[in-house]
Amino acid sequence: MMITIVLVAVGLLALGFLIKIRKGFASPRALENPAQHLRPVDVAAFRNLIDPEEEEFLRRRLPAADYRKIRRERLRAAVDYVSCAAQNAAILLRLGEAALRSGDAATAEAATNLINQAIQLRIYAFQAIPKLYLGIIFPGWEVSSLPVADSYEQMTGQLARLGSQYPVQGVSAAL
């Protein structure tokens, strides 16, 4: 009986993961005006939300019940930031795929780098979101350092390099 429950749970998790991957991919319409579909991500605010020193400061200053409530709110906000970053990465992944077809070698190289950065960010996001939810469920759970912010900054830097060779109107400004 226990094995059946575990197998059903694993199956549901796998199904949820597949749905999330499918839902996370950008639609072809996103390429028509990518800047309109991108959501801004404040990397500095995200870093603050997951900063262990900030967590310790709040833990020392607030009563335990207030600290748990604030921590859950902060982690929910961090989940939103990571989700936005992953969605932006999906759009930039499509943009990079379109740029690959340009025929120019320098553009193709910049597009390949952008695609790699976007894929890496999406992997980090899929790893980070469960950690953040565990922190919401279990207030004592330590959320280890998440490479999402660094990866997002690298991806946006790669987009700027691609933008010097391929038209990406307003996309950098939207990030």
pLDDT single digits (tens) 39-86:
889 999 999 999 989 999 999 999 999 999 999 999 999 999 999 999
User: pLDDT tens-digit profile of 120-147?
Assistant: 999 999 899 999 999 999 877 888 778 9
**Rounded to a whole number, what is the largest CA-CA distance in the chain?**
61
Contact between residue 157 and residue 116 where contact means Cβ atoms under 8 Å apart: no
Contacts of 146 (CB under 8 A, 6+ apart): 50, 82, 124, 127, 128, 131, 132
pTM: 0.79
What does the pLDDT average to over 90-103?
85
Distance of CA 125 to the CA centre of its chain: 4
Predicted local confidence at residue 82, as pLDDT: 95
